[in-house]
């Protein structure tokens, strides 16, 4: 929790309480259903929570946004983002039901009313559009973009000046080939510039406006 407080100082008492509760909840649930690698559970706040909040550090979601967390796994980046943005709706989707069981339990324990979940593949979402899709280390960018486009609302022609709608994903390593294969023109933010911790070297927030 200390590393979160190094970079964020504007939490309400409720948010501080919710973030502080994450470690105990995930350690307890990880004993039953492995959603975080054993070697990473002790670095939960750096490698999972702060990593998720890198999205916050690149810009705010407009009020009233509806956000899809594609392949949420154990609830990242969705749960930290839902704590940070209590007035924004997050829909967390994963194809593995047991992972969503953990997400639902954590959200309920934290009292997060702005989270819904669905055990399904994103390709099966019909008749619903979102302002943003967020994702972390789920698939190559070309696949994330292919899955995201059908469920994203369209932006105005001014989208390069202000990203109104789009895909925001957390990725690492040399992304040159991945970006080339995707056919996208993403905007990259180096997380190490936001949070100068060794872990975040060569990790990026990748934004693809829609």
DSSP β-bridge partners for residue 91: 68, 116
Alpha-carbon distance of 96 to 52, in angstroms, equals 20
Alpha-carbon distance of 151 to 132, in angstroms, equals 9
> From the CB of residue 43, how many other CB atoms can be counted at a distance below 10 Å?
16
Alpha-carbon distance of 81 to 90, in angstroms, equals 8
Contacts of 141 (CB under 8 A, 6+ apart): 169, 171, 175, 178, 179, 181, 182, 184, 186, 206, 208
Phi and psi at 199, nearest 5°, equal: -60, -30
Alpha-carbon distance of 50 to 40, in angstroms, equals 13
Q: Which residues are annotated binding-site positions for S-adenosyl-L-methionine?
A: 71, 76, 122-123, 136
Is the Cβ–Cβ distance between 8 and 54 less than 8 Å?
no
Is the Cβ–Cβ distance between 82 and 112 less than 8 Å?
yes
Q: What is the largest CA-CA distance in the chain?
A: 48
Q: Which residues are annotated binding-site positions?
A: 71, 76, 122-123, 136
């Amino acid at each position: 929790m200390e590393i979160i407080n190094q970079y964020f100082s504007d939490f309400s008492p409720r948010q501080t309480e919710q973030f502080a509760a994450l470690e105990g909840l995930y350690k307890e649930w990880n004993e039953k259903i492995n959603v975080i690698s054993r070697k990473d559970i002790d670095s939960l706040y750096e490698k999972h929570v702060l990593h998720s909040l890198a999205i916050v550090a690149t810009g705010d979601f407009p009020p009233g946004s509806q956000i899809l967390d594609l392949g949420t796994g154990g609830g990242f980046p969705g749960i930290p983002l839902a704590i940070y943005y209590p007035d924004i709706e997050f829909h967390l989707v994963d194809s593995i039901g047991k992972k969503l069981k953990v997400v639902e339990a954590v959200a309920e324990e934290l009292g997060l009313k702005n989270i819904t979940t669905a055990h399904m593949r994103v390709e099966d979402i019909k008749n619903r559009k979102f302002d943003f899709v967020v994702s972390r280390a789920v698939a190559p960018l070309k696949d994330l973009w292919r899955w995201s486009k059908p469920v994203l609302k369209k932006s105005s022609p001014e989208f390069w000046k202000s990203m109104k709608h789009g895909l925001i994903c957390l990725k690492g390593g040399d992304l040159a080939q991945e970006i080339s294969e995707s056919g996208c023109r993403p905007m990259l933010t180096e997380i190490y510039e936001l949070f100068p911790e060794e872990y975040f070297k060569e990790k990026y927030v990748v934004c693809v406006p829609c």
